[in-house]
């Protein structure tokens, strides 16, 4: 599991109280565990605070507003994505305007990506059936 230092944890707690409109709308959907996936919001990960994360699928979700296109933000986002990739996580970058325009499509996209990141068999569900056994 990804964790962060105390300062990052404090920052994450602060961010949870001040979600942007697109983040709040998406969280309202993701907190209901669509597709059986559990999500966390404003999760501390090393020196970063991630908008959303699905730990079981190893997928981080970042909602990018207009501020992500200016100044040093693109380089910072690239460094965050590289760090997450090094930790074994894939990053989904979703424009805030897409969340506002079609929330259902965004949720479906996220669930599809989480499902494709999952192994075919999850060890927590027990061993796979032996060859030739019928599933009832």
pLDDT at 131 over 70: no
For 58-88, the pLDDT digits (tens) are 999 999 876 655 556 778 888 889 999 999 9
What is the C-alpha separation between 25 and 37, in angstroms, rounded? 17
pLDDT at 13 over 90: no
pLDDT at 97 (0 to 100): 93
Q: What is the dihedral of CA 16, 98, 95, 56, to 10 degrees?
A: 60
Q: 6-117 adopts what CATH topology?
A: Endonuclease; Chain A (3.40.960)
For 81-93, the pLDDT digits (tens) are 999 999 999 999 9
What is the C-alpha separation between 106 and 95, in angstroms, rounded? 10
Tell me the whole-structure pTM to 2 decimals. Answer: 0.76
Pairing of strands 48-54, 40-45: antiparallel
Name which of 100, 30, 31 is nearest 64 in CA terms.
Answer: 100
Cα 5 from chain centre: 20
pLDDT at 64 (0 to 100): 87
State the CB neighbour count (10 A cutoff) for residue 42. 20
Which residues on adjacent β-strands are paired with residue 92?
A: 61
For 25-46, the pLDDT digits (tens) are 999 999 999 999 999 999 988 8
């Amino acid at each position: 599991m990804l964790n962060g230092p105390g300062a990052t944890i404090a920052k994450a707690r602060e961010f949870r109280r001040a979600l942007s409109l697109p983040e709040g709308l998406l969280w309202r959907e993701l907190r209901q565990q669509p597709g059986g996936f559990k999500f966390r919001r404003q999760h501390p990960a090393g020196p970063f605070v991630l908008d959303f994360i699905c730990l079981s699928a190893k997928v981080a979700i970042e909602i990018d507003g207009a501020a992500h296109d200016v100044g040093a933000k693109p380089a910072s986002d690239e460094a965050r994505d590289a760090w997450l990739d090094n930790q074994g996580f894939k990053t989904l970058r979703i424009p805030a305007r897409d969340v506002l325009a079609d929330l259902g499509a965004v949720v479906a996209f996220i669930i599809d990506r989480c499902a494709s990141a999952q192994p075919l068999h999850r060890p927590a569900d027990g061993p796979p059936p032996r060859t030739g056994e019928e599933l009832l």
